[in-house]
Amino acid sequence: MIVGLGNPGSKYSDTRHNIGYKVVENLAYKRKLNFNKVSTKYLLAKGKVNNFEFSLLLPLTYMNLSGEAVKEFYSKYNFLLSEMLVVCDDINLSVGKIRLRSKGSHGGHNGLLSIIEALQSTNFPRLRIGIGNNFEKEKQAEYVLSSFNEEEKPFINESIEKATLICDTFLEGGIKAALETYSKIQSVKKSNPTNKGVIK
């Protein structure tokens, strides 16, 4: 399964904090899947790959309580945590930079922290997308809830496409295959931004 972190509602749709939502929404679009509200805590889309069913989840609990949505889903389906990829933003990475890890700490991200506390484990893959950290002291909350500027949009849209490819590979072959795709993407010389209008 793949979880995209963010805040629900159009008010937050194009904010930096919702980049995880954007990637998973883009993946669902490419796979021609629709999200349904099957719980008060999350939206869910289901599909099949190689005759195996997979799930895409968007929490409706707001970022700081993401763990509640994931725990409810986990309690219902009881899957291996290594089979869950969490996609989120990261202020410690420059805008558009991508980082994939098979496990690790929350790194100061409240959504990841909530999931780690809810599941009592850090042993799940996470894909982080950089949103930069160009904010004044004590202005982090305002920054992550702001929109990308015009100069940043082409780079963040390109990173959404790359992250979507990594997620798609994860569905096909798990974290090992995803890490191979990630490695290839990292080694390719930076190309021109696609600017496909994911962030408007």
- Residue 196 within any structural domain of the chain: no
106 has catalytic annotation: no
- Residue 195 within any structural domain of the chain: no
What does the alpha-carbon distance between residue 89 and residue 17 come to, in Å, rounded to a whole number? Answer: 6
What does the alpha-carbon distance between residue 159 and residue 121 come to, in Å, rounded to a whole number? Answer: 28
4-33 burial: b if 16+ Cβ within 10 Å, else e = bbbbbeeebbbbbbbbbbbbbbbbbeebeb
- Residue 198 within any structural domain of the chain: no
Q: How many residues are given for the chain?
A: 200
CATH code of the domain in which 15 resides: 3.40.50.1470
What does the alpha-carbon distance between residue 192 and residue 189 come to, in Å, rounded to a whole number? Answer: 10
- Residue 200 within any structural domain of the chain: no
Instruction: Print the domain residue range for 95.
Output: 2-187
- Residue 50 within any structural domain of the chain: yes
Which residues partner with 130 through β-bridges? 90
- Residue 99 within any structural domain of the chain: yes
Given a contact cutoff of 8 angstroms between Cβ atoms, the answer to whether 83 and 57 are in contact is no
- Residue 199 within any structural domain of the chain: no
Task: Give the distance from CA 102 to its chain's centroid.
Answer: 14
Residue 137, pLDDT score? 84
- Residue 192 within any structural domain of the chain: no
**Helix, strand, coil abundance in the chain, percent, nearest 5:** 45, 20, 40
Given a contact cutoff of 8 angstroms between Cβ atoms, the answer to whether 67 and 118 are in contact is yes
Domain count, the chain: 1
Q: Give the active site residue among 17, 22, 128, 162.
A: 17
What does the alpha-carbon distance between residue 180 and residue 97 come to, in Å, rounded to a whole number? Answer: 17
Q: Is 94 in a helix, a strand, or coil?
A: coil
Mean pLDDT by 10 residues, the chain (200 residues): 96 96 98 96 96 96 97 94 97 96 94 97 97 89 95 96 98 97 83 48
